[in-house]
Structure 1
Amino acid sequence: MIFADRALTPAGWATDVRLTLAGDRIDDLRPDTQPEPGDIRVAALLPGMANVHSHAFQRGFAGLTEARGLAQDSFWTWRDMMYRFALTIDPDGMQALAEMAYVEMLEAGYVRVGEFHYLHHDPDGGAYADPAEMSGRIFAAAAETGIALTHLPVFYAHGGFGPQPATPGQRRFVHDLAGFAELVKRCDAMAVRPQDRVGYAPHSLRAATSADLNALAEALPGRPVHIHIAEQQREVEECLAVLGQRPVAWLFENAEVTEAWCLIHATHMVAPEISALAASGAVAGLCPVTEANLGDGLFRAEAYLGRGGAIAIGTDSNVRVDLAGELRLLEYGQRLAHHRRNVLAPEGGSTGRRLFKAALSGGARALGADGAGLARGAPADLVALEDPHGLAPDGDQLIDRWVFGRDVAVRDVWAAGRHLVRDGRHVARARVAARFGAVLRRIMA
């Protein structure tokens, strides 16, 4: 039993709420009641968030690319280093890195991850005996840590617009269509937990042609579809030069973009593209911390949300795993761009609440998850916030203090009914962190 002073339900904030869990579901939820002996008491309960975009292996080099080279650093110089790191990771290392990232996600308030996974082959580019060996390690890491998984095996056929041949640094990523279909089939067989999902992800317009996109859509209907797009100015320039259109505009003319799609980043869009994406029902998957770290640019959130566009939040490179930090930076970027405050809040409303609810809804849609929230019969995915000083007079202000302040923090997390984070720490943190450290020491030796 859990007793919350406040709980954010689909109908809004409820007070003095007592929840009963049964297995992986909320069995009962009663507001305006009293706690009973043995109840876990919390200041506030929120629905758990979906992390729409993760590259788990990149958690291994977080903070190791912050020294400037001889040339001007950019996304593209960072990518070269990432490719080198990717060549060092074996299956055991993949699982250890993913477990660490997933522990941190749960501690931050994420209960589901969309793993955009392209590290498929062995370091020489050959297939493992099981062609889904590395995906299997992602499923194992999710099961070990308890996070729900929407696995997004990545289709990567080309090295650039044109198409260009894949480079040596991309050799672990590449599939043809037949090989990729077999990979997805194997991933389907691994999705044995009720909370597991399998979608697919054409990596980008650099890596998949229009023929590839159409073939994938025909072969793999009814699944979440994610794609990197318009992340970098150079990407836009190359797309214009080779394909004659900006990336988002080209995608909408050459693929059937529906609510099943999630366009990751979509940073560099012009007004017609913003309108098209917002009207489509597809989700813009935003990763503000990584986008800032890589110097990508600022998503035009005010214009996009003003047109009713759907958003979700992701950790991408996992340089920082911080749900509140992602929401905060999304708003702060708009403040810096527009020279105003509370840019993304509704008139008279809370910025934190608006961003949290938008990301909650969009994340569930993008990852094929149940977005019912805190309600009877819904998944028991709960995040408890602590408010040590009791200063928030209402729930919205408590979210604002969590996102923009210092005192409110995630205390407990239940995922599929399992109490995995207690007093801010995942129950398996010590073991997972020890294995993670051992893998990094071996890689860095």
Structure 2
Amino acid sequence: MTVLHAAQALTPTGWQADLRLTVTEGRFSALEAGAAPLPGDTRVAVLVPGLPNLHSHAFQRGMAGLAERRGPSSDTFWTWRETMYRFALRMSPDEAEAVAAQAYLEMLESGFTRVGEFHYLHHGPDGRPYGNVAEMAERIAAAASLTGLRLSLLPVLYRWSNFGGAAPNEGQRRFVSDLDLFGRLVAESRAALATLPGATLGVAPHSLRAVTPEDLSASVALAEGGPVHIHVAEQVREVEDCLAWSGARPVQWLLDHAGLGPQWCLIHATHMTPDETTRCAQSGAVAGLCPVTEASLGDGIFPAPGFVAAGGRYGIGTDSNVLVGAADELRQLEYAQRLGERQRNVLAAPGASTGRALFDAAFAGGIQALAAEAGGLKLGAPADCVALAGTDPALLERHGDALLDGWIFAAGSRAVDAVWVAGRQVVADGRHRAREAVGARYAAVLRRLMAE
């Protein structure tokens, strides 16, 4: 049993002062507000629920910063993708696990307690499946287990290189599976998660570029009611190619043909018309926004004001992991809207805190998108929580929602003091308990990869 005492804590009913939270077998078994701390309590200044990271490609953490040199002409998402392909082709299972562990450690240190791993690095460097087709998925699960990050695994179906079933290219060979192989991969991934507490499984048809309508239907059936995630409308060229193939824009096509609903998460959905934005919001699907990556790749700006006004739900993800930070994603989401709208505090209701609006939306949307157990600082919920350092300059003399504003807009990851997952402390004094060992392994992997 562990007892936490928070001077200020964000609960589902609002901020509570002097909240004692008893943790038994990984869950909150008792909560008492207005209580003095007792000897033996772990005392923290500010306690909030851990956030879900709904979209990650863990292996890309190893190439962060390597695509920041301009080529002979203008650089785009498509030129970045070629760099990513070259990097992906080098990595062994051991190396993929080491890179994922580094990414997951950083997620925990920044305030995330769950990740949705959009996992498509399936096969060997020559494109042939491993003898254990779920080898790479098991390495992702091992990295999550080592670091203590909760995992929602989303095996990716990737069959084609462009709309209409165009043959895949050589750079995609580690990703590509036919439907029979993908069915085995999903089944064995499900087995790989059986001993990982709180893990969930979904499927991820990569994009309308990479699956045909028939592939899409088959992959959704394999989800067995679990989450379905798909990249959509990230790039203008993608929208143009989809129009040429089908006569419809990507989000429009999904709305008309795929039966979108709360099970779905549309990753990016950057380029939508006002009608698509409203219909997408009304479908109940979650928009999976990755603001730092979307800015890094020059994708564009998500139409958040119209989407939110229509009742849309969204969550955040670190995607390419070029920068890993819960506050960084939330800040970039709001700042992109400010640049686009030429206004301030775009995603808050009149008179309300922007930090609180962003935090609440990302928490609820991430839980839905990853089919995770509803959490929060409440009786019976999983004890997944984050303590912020009240001594951080951006949090001094702040109370209530102003603490979230200070964390997201002024402090970032440096304000994260401690993190618990299932009541087990994995971060203390801002550092993960396994940082040295994980970091040393990661450094060795990067030395080899960069030497090639």
TM-score, structure 2 as length reference:
0.97
Q: 2:86 aligns with which of 84, 87, 90?
A: 84
Task: Write out per-residue CA displacement over residues 375-403 of structure 1, whole angstroms, 9 at most, x where no aligned residue.
Answer: 01100000001121563442100100011
Q: C-alpha separation between the residues in 2 aligned to 1:258 and 1:406?
A: 36
Q: Which moved more, 1:261-270 or 1:31-40?
A: 31-40
Q: 1:60 aligns with which of 62, 84, 88?
A: 62
Structural mapping, 1:200-279, within 5 Å: 200-279=203-282
Who is 1:100 aligned against? 102
Q: C-alpha separation between the residues in 1 aligned to 2:443 and 2:257?
A: 45
Structural mapping, 1:410-421, within 5 Å: 410-421=416-427
Q: 2:411 aligns with which of 406, 409, 414?
A: 406
Task: Write out per-residue CA displacement over residues 166-190 of structure 1, whole angstroms, 9 at most, x where no aligned residue.
Answer: 0000000011111101001101111
Preserved contact between residue 383 and residue 421 of structure 2 (Cα < 8 Å): yes
Q: C-alpha separation between the residues in 1 aligned to 2:362 and 2:94?
A: 32
Q: Secondary structure at the match of 2:266?
A: strand
Q: 2:443 aligns with which of 428, 437, 441?
A: 437
Deviation at 1:213, TM superposition (A): 1.2
> Which residue type is aligned with residue 351 of structure 2?
G
Q: 2:176 aligns with which of 170, 174, 177?
A: 174
Preserved contact between residue 53 and residue 114 of structure 1 (Cα < 8 Å): yes
> Which residue type is aligned with residue 328 of structure 1?
R
Who is 1:134 aligned against? 136
Task: Write out per-residue CA displacement over residues 204-252 of structure 1, whole angstroms, 9 at most, x where no aligned residue.
Answer: 0000111111122234321110000000011001111111111000011
Q: C-alpha separation between the residues in 1 aligned to 2:307 and 2:242?
A: 22
1:381 has 2:384 as partner:
yes
Q: 2:357 aligns with which of 351, 354, 360?
A: 354
Q: C-alpha separation between the residues in 1 aligned to 2:415 and 2:283?
A: 35
Q: Would you identify which runs of 4 or more consecutive aligned residues in structure 1 move more than 4 Å?
A: none
Task: Write out per-residue CA displacement over residues 308-339 of structure 1, whole angstroms, 9 at most, x where no aligned residue.
Answer: 10000000000000111111111111111111
Q: Secondary structure at the match of 1:406?
A: helix
1:394 has 2:396 as partner:
no
> Which residue type is aligned with residue 203 of structure 1?
H
Preserved contact between residue 202 and residue 226 of structure 1 (Cα < 8 Å): yes
Deviation at 1:80, TM superposition (A): 0.4
Which ranges in structure 1 are unaligned for 5 or more consecutive residues? none
1:282 has 2:285 as partner:
yes
Preserved contact between residue 10 and residue 372 of structure 1 (Cα < 8 Å): no
TM-score, structure 1 as length reference:
0.98
Task: Write out per-residue CA displacement over residues 108-161 of structure 1, whole angstroms, 9 at most, x where no aligned residue.
Answer: 000000000000010000011101111110000000100000000000011111
Task: Write out per-residue CA displacement over residues 246-274 of structure 1, whole angstroms, 9 at most, x where no aligned residue.
Answer: 10000111111110110000000011111
Which ranges in structure 2 are unaligned for 5 or more consecutive residues? none
Who is 2:167 aligned against? 165
Q: Secondary structure at the match of 1:128?
A: coil
Q: Which moved more, 1:78-87 or 1:390-399?
A: 390-399
Q: C-alpha separation between the residues in 1 aligned to 2:101 and 2:125?
A: 21
Q: C-alpha separation between the residues in 2 aligned to 1:220 and 1:111?
A: 23
Q: Provide the identity percentage.
A: 56
> Which residue type is aligned with residue 119 of structure 1?
L
Who is 2:42 aligned against? 40
Q: 1:123 aligns with which of 112, 122, 125?
A: 125
What is the number of equivalent residue pairs in this alignment? Answer: 445
Preserved contact between residue 186 and residue 222 of structure 2 (Cα < 8 Å): no
